[in-house]
Structure 1
């Protein structure tokens, strides 16, 4: 079972030393901004970066590419087959603009290896070519597919950053579609497009994800719509009710511009009676999961999601 409660890891207000080094090195390299590169080259640049900093992939996992109603996906399971009847849908991060099956491959392999379950990574459509709500439609399609093809199995949804937003939205739809979920894992999600939380101002620059980055992602994702988009499919914190949702792991980072709204979502779920494990990595930053090859908090984030899903999938 999921151990619930609030867990603070690290020292509040103090940036982890290994991350301070990474940020200093990034500033020294003067890496190009993804928004300046544009969506196509931005995707290639993002892939190059995480390929250097991702954790090593565990052995003993079989991966198979397939499609879910035309949506590319990748299924992971231990060699010899799953040890438990549990399936996790994973949605990658990247602001709904960048990221793909490759950028989050090691994390999905780790989840499958640690839990002995099936993990399916969903390569949902990206903006600006396919703006909101295309990603939501793909997430719901994947949910319905999983409920149909793995009837009777424990189902979960997970994602980081934009993928965490998508996982939260899919969990809302699962409740409304009466599709039972065993767990939702939301890793530093954006949950309110109004964007007026203090951390978005306090941490607007200097911690990899900047206000300029968020504005660019938002412009691509919601192209053709007046901002902010406050309906639940865009801003799940503003759903009319969070009652009846799946148990949740909400992971936030103390130096992430999205920390306040992630914390607020954990509290909203708790107030609605949802069992919540809320873990705040006090000295960490947005995107730490993609730095798990180098920084301790990235390794801790990966360990948290693997532990939580393993406890539920067992």
Structure 2
């Protein structure tokens, strides 16, 4: 694992060779940009974008449940061994508009095995049908359920992490902030994989990676437009955690950034802000990677960097508290 500061979070000269090949393959049959689709069209498109494994990576047990008064669907991945289990509450990416339990099945299976912990994947309600703060409140309620159901679910409440990627990383940062502010669940770690941290498109990484690397600037503007009720919401620290005045008292953090990602700089800056506030931070930067790699685990889209990410995050999750 490599740790770095935000000022070192830059792009390599070119992406990893496997990623170059993937981008060339995608370019041969141009994909419609998310911003050109309706939310429902984007969801249907995403279902076919990431391949599904014919033989999914096995885990000891998988349970589909509905939790909380709102009936939020969750999928629980139980590792081998006996409980109580260290646990990761995982919030999927997708710009708050797309993504579900199935599109993140391979990711959660890999995390459960590599980290040797139970993973609770949360199928929060999506925007624009359910704009900010509804998806966030769903995630917070699901995290509370993990603690409330600890005895039944065999959860080790001293070792529960909150995590997610992209918009899910944004939600995980906000859940951690809400838990601190509300004297809520105490998380052992927050895992933020290329998180969205600010409603702002004026960074060098947005300029450098505006097009050509799967996630574009126009896509992110489209996602934000669907998530927020109005621009005022974008200033709220639970929508833009980078704008929180105080980041002290938050759980230790693993922050992952990628060189060829519009979100690179805001993730790196958030890692720096956490460290400045006295939070223990491990910032893992892949200079040759693109946004979205945590999902790229199944052939023909299986990437070395995806497994590196799973392993690095899992190493942090196994670090003694």
Q: How does the TM-score come out when normalised to structure 2?
A: 0.89
Q: What's the CA shift for 1:212?
A: 1.3
Per the alignment, in what secondary structure is the counterpart of residue 59 of structure 1? coil
Aligned partners of 2:296, 2:233: CA distance in 1, in Å?
A: 30
Q: What's the CA shift for 1:14?
A: 2.8
Say whether 1:175 aligns with 2:180.
yes
Residues 77 and 28 of structure 1, relative CA distance in 2, 3 Å threshold: same
Aligned partners of 2:60, 2:201: CA distance in 1, in Å?
A: 39
Aligned partners of 2:178, 2:32: CA distance in 1, in Å?
A: 37
Aligned partners of 1:221, 1:10: CA distance in 2, in Å?
A: 28
Per the alignment, in what secondary structure is the counterpart of residue 229 of structure 1? helix
Which position in structure 2 is the counterpart of 1:74?
75
1:165 to 149, 170, 194: 170
Which position in structure 2 is the counterpart of 1:210?
216
Residues 10 and 226 of structure 1, relative CA distance in 2, 3 Å threshold: closer
- Counterparts of 1:1-314 in structure 2, within 5 Å, are 5-6=3-4, 12-51=12-51, 57-69=56-68, 70-79=71-80, 81-82=82-83, 84-150=84-150, 152-178=157-183, 179-222=185-228, 224-226=229-231, 229-293=234-298, 294-312=302-320
Aligned partners of 1:141, 1:91: CA distance in 2, in Å?
A: 12
Aligned partners of 1:35, 1:227: CA distance in 2, in Å?
A: 22
In the alignment, structure 2 segments of 5+ residues that lack a partner are 151-155
1:99-138 alpha-carbon deviations (Å, 9 max, x no partner): 0000111111122223332211000010111111111111
CA RMSD in angstroms, aligned pairs only: 2.3
* 1:76–1:112 CA contact under 8 A, matched in 2: yes
1:19-38 alpha-carbon deviations (Å, 9 max, x no partner): 11111221111112233231
Q: What's the CA shift for 1:10?
A: 11
In the alignment, structure 1 segments of 5+ residues that lack a partner are none
Per the alignment, in what secondary structure is the counterpart of residue 51 of structure 1? coil
* 1:62–1:78 CA contact under 8 A, matched in 2: yes
Aligned partners of 1:28, 1:259: CA distance in 2, in Å?
A: 26
Aligned length: 308
Q: How does the TM-score come out when normalised to structure 1?
A: 0.91
Residues 227 and 211 of structure 1, relative CA distance in 2, 3 Å threshold: farther
